[in-house]
Amino acid sequence: MSLFPHARRRPAVRCTATAVAVSLALLTAGCGSSGGAGAKPAATASSPEGFPVTVDNCGVRTTFDRPPSRVVTIHQHPAELMLALGLKDRMVGTAFPDSAVLPELRKDFEAIPELAEREPSFEKILDAEPDLVYGGYGSAFDEKEGRSREAFADAGIDTHLNREYCGKDKVTMADTYAEVRTIGKIFGVSDRAEKLVADLENRVGKATSAVSYEEKVPVFVYDSGDKSAFTAGGKGLGTDLIRLAGGENVFGDLDEVFGDVSWEQVVERRPEVIAIYDYAGSGSVEQKEKYLLSRAALADVPAVKNKRFVVLPLTATLVGIRSAYAVDDLARGLHPESFR
């Protein structure tokens, strides 16, 4: 039996850290229903300035003749991104929080109805009467669960999937900035999006500059697992975050977003730091550290021997507002001497 039976809840999708102060003024943008998925309405006198807007997202083209006014977010990182852009008034439901919500956003997040602890059913989402459903993981639109994007389109509801799950070969921080800008465009708040991107870029720049002359530190990402290790591969954002922070993912050659590796492989690659992903259902950080320290086979691995662990909330490693802060957290964990 696995030590962490609920850990692997991210879908096997190709393509796919932590205090953050995101404070933007809440401005009112135009409200109204969005255009149907795939529709291309012409601009009319009633369309807000800058609309209609057409977005190509993971193979689905959607034209919005006005900003969505009733949004359901599935998974935490889309919800936090919307809140950081001052779009609380557009949110009528959310679901599946992975980690503790950022303190600066907690009050607003708690004011939004939680539809389910995990992905809500298609019917539950319909009950909220959304005009847009914004999913974080590919599982948000699981066809087997009746939540396909086509099903929502048939119901007259637009959808948007975080670009991390669009099947790209490799996800980088550039995808985070692009996602923020896309959401800003859809809601007619591109000015806010640009301010947020500038802040994120500035934070990443400061962290990377601080460690630019340091040698790369070998890093092993431990998500979960006992008989084998479930780790971050080279296609996910985590590898780019480690690179920007002055490290090197020892399994960056793994041609997956996440995948299993043997403990023998971990020993062979001798990581000097272990980044532990923290999220509900995967076992506590304390349990994971205790497990790593208890494995006799890992006793001579530098990271274990020296007890060098860096903890990252799972939401900090995804395409969303926290990823820029993950770079800073990682950089401080990998190169503490550069921040004294």
Sorted by where each begins, the domain ranges of the chain are 53-161, 213-339
pLDDT score for 11 = 44
Topology of the domain covering 213-339: Rossmann fold (3.40.50)
With a pLDDT cut of 70, the percent of the chain lying above it is 86
Q: How many residues does this entry show for the chain?
A: 340
| Partners of 274 in the β-ladder | 220, 309
pLDDT (mean) for 117-146: 96
- Does position 21 have pLDDT exceeding 90, yes or no? no
Q: Write down the pLDDT at residue 98.
A: 83
At the fourth CATH level, the homologous superfamily of domain 53-161 is Nitrogenase molybdenum iron protein domain (3.40.50.1980)
Residue by residue, DSSP assigns 246-281 as TEEETTTT-SSSEEEE-HHHHHHH--SEEEEEE-TT
Alpha helices in 52-189 (DSSP H): 76-84, 103-110, 122-127, 149-154, 173-186
Residue that wins the pLDDT comparison between 169 and 95: 95
Q: Is 69 in a helix, a strand, or coil?
A: coil
Query: How high is the pLDDT of residue 62?
Result: 97
How far out from the chain centre does Cα 201 lie?
17
Question: Residues 229-247: pLDDT tens digits?
Answer: 999 999 999 999 999 999 9
Segment holding 204, helix H or strand E:
helix 190-210
Is 213-339 the same fold as 53-161?
Answer: yes
